Structure 1
Amino acid sequence: MIEILQSLRLTLLNIGYAKLNSSWDFDNVVSPFTRMYYITTGSAKLYHNKRMFTLKPGYMYIVPSYCYARYSCDHYHEQFYISFLEEVSNGISIYSLKEFIYEIEADERDRGYFEQLLAINTNRGIKNSDPKTYDNKPTLQDFIKQNETLTTKSFLETQGLLTILFSKFITNYKLKSDINAADYKMQKIINYINNNLHQSITVVELATMCNYSPDHFSKLFNQLYGSGPNKFIQEKRIERSQLLLLTTNDPLQEIAEKVGLDNISYFSRLFKKLTGKTPAYFRKEQVNI
């Protein structure tokens, strides 16, 4: 395991300081990179991994790559922000190997790390905070190329500071330690599922992406994740619909479509089967808590 961690490579994409208002309101954000925030003033909300985080001054937050997230700000807040790629050997995600916490109280040294990174990497800010304007392959490649303009000293210092900040969110190895080299490609399948829940996903399609037969793919998937791919996809669709029910005023039909379940009757039945409640009751119950 230590060999894999030694291969960890962090690649800076963006860093900046932003003053944001209620226009910082984005849904259905699934990015191929990690986001990190240090809040200095005001408040906002962040939703991911089945949780809502109230962004508070003096705290740091992280959003893993390929993780569905939603952002909103009722009034105003200011933040340092960093986006970066995280890679380890054989293409597996570091988030599959380690447990992470997503909110930590920062200290003055942490703020200093952000300030130093920003001083080293000037002109790396995002001009438009809407993820749709920069969350695409051509733009990301442009961000990556900017690292080539750094001096050796600045590049190494950037890597060191990023590693220090990233390490603060890591806790322990996950209990699931049965991932081996032959199965690293399955991580890409999970990323694909998370990024495409709004459309049809078939086992045949996923198996083809891995160059496996559907039967072999389903067996391996079940060994790694404890359920068949179809059940896993259904559970992910309902998990995302729960988040949308809590964080938007979208009608049920629109939420069903956003999670790839166009038939509202089937969506409601599946939701109740997995949660024990109807979508409407779940939303009403949470609002009244």
Structure 2
Amino acid sequence: MIKRVLRHTFSLLNTDHVKLGAKWNYKNVISPYHRIYYIDEGDGEISDVENKHRLEPGYLYIIPSFTLCNLTCKNYLSQYFVQFFEESSDGVSLFANNRSVFKVKAQEIDIINFQRLIVINPGRGINRSDNPKVYEKNIYYREYQELNNQQNIADFLETQGLLLQLVSRFATPSVFKQKEVKYIPVKILESISFISVNLHIPLSVTFLAERANLNSEYFSRLFQEYTGTRPLAYINEKRIERAQYLMVTNTASYSEIAEQTGFESQSHFSRTFKSITGLSPRAYKQQIYSTSS
């Protein structure tokens, strides 16, 4: 159980306590990181493609990465928030089966945890703008990652623990539909790690099987048994996930994104993108940060 959880680590991006007004009104927001809110005053609304939640005092809300959502405040909203990236040893997110907004009743310890996060991570607010279109850029991510690198080990470990506690509030059977995790053979785990850092190069089942010193068909069956997906389908899913991240965080052209994610052509990238997301790259990007006036 412990080893299963500790395969996932978090990298803090922002945390703060803010008071918002009617300008906090953004549609079609999609981010490459997770965010958790605790509302202490006022009210607002948050929605994904399936559900609509009232933002109300005394509750925690989580928006997993790559979850399309709308954020609204009509008059006044006071909230604690934290935004953080997730890393896992097998490349599978804790939220892989939970790309929806969730709401749970807060406990007193949650408020204490948010306050402590802010104390040991000073200067981590969003100082430029509360508009995701402004603050979600690679250059800003690198700035905050450098702050993480400068943390002393005590604050780093405490930050990890606080984030784990906040995430754990949503890890209930009624909310968190996590699949049972099997032991993954070392050769498959190493192949997953290799894929995650080499999406930009040609990857084939034969190549991966040879690296693992296994027969191609056996490697493919083994990979599917422990990941639930055939190798090529897994590679394409990870490439498209990476492409989504690039589309959110920088202004690279579609051909540049195709090259950076290992597709042989822009047309191949576009076809694969639509088959996985249901939208063309252009349609997908048009709905990112379609901010209301």
TM-score normalised per structure 2: 0.65
Aligned counterparts of 2:74 and 2:247: Cα–Cα separation in 1: 29
Shift, 1:231, TM fit? 5.7
Identity %: 28
Aligned counterparts of 1:48 and 1:34: Cα–Cα separation in 2: 14
For the aligned residue pairs, the C-alpha RMSD in angstroms reads 3.9
The aligned counterpart of 1:285 is none
Matches within 5 A, 1:136-285: 136-170=137-171, 171-174=176-179, 178-179=228-229, 183=234, 186-190=237-241, 192=243, 209=261, 230=274, 233-234=277-278, 258=286
The aligned counterpart of 2:136 is 135
**2:139 partner letter:** P
The aligned counterpart of 1:120 is 120
Matches within 5 A, 1:91-102: 91-96=91-96, 102=102
Q: Deviations over 1:16-67 (max 9, x none)?
A: 0000000101122111111110000010111124211110101001111112
Gaps of at least 5 residues in structure 1 are 222-227, 238-254, 261-289
- Residue 256 and residue 10 in structure 1: after superposition, are their counterparts in 2 closer, same or farther (change >3 A)? closer
Higher mean Cα deviation, 95-104 or 5-14? 95-104
Q: Deviations over 1:105-136 (max 9, x none)?
A: 00101111111111111111111211122101
Gaps of at least 5 residues in structure 2 are 182-226, 249-253, 289-293
Aligned counterparts of 2:3 and 2:178: Cα–Cα separation in 1: 14
Q: Deviations over 1:71-114 (max 9, x none)?
A: 11001010001000011124333322668771110010111111
Aligned counterparts of 1:47 and 1:99: Cα–Cα separation in 2: 12
Aligned counterparts of 2:285 and 2:142: Cα–Cα separation in 1: 32
Structure with greater proportional helix content: 1
- Residue 43 and residue 64 in structure 1: after superposition, are their counterparts in 2 closer, same or farther (change >3 A)? same
**1:178 partner letter:** G
The aligned counterpart of 1:65 is 65
Aligned counterparts of 1:164 and 1:174: Cα–Cα separation in 2: 20
Aligned counterparts of 2:107 and 2:98: Cα–Cα separation in 1: 23
**2:43 partner letter:** S
- Residue 184 and residue 157 in structure 1: after superposition, are their counterparts in 2 closer, same or farther (change >3 A)? farther
**2:237 partner letter:** M
**2:46 partner letter:** L
Equivalent residue pairs, number: 229
Shift, 1:141, TM fit? 0.8
TM-score normalised per structure 1: 0.65
Aligned counterparts of 2:31 and 2:78: Cα–Cα separation in 1: 22
Shift, 1:208, TM fit? 9.7
CA contact (8 A) 1:87 1:94 kept: no
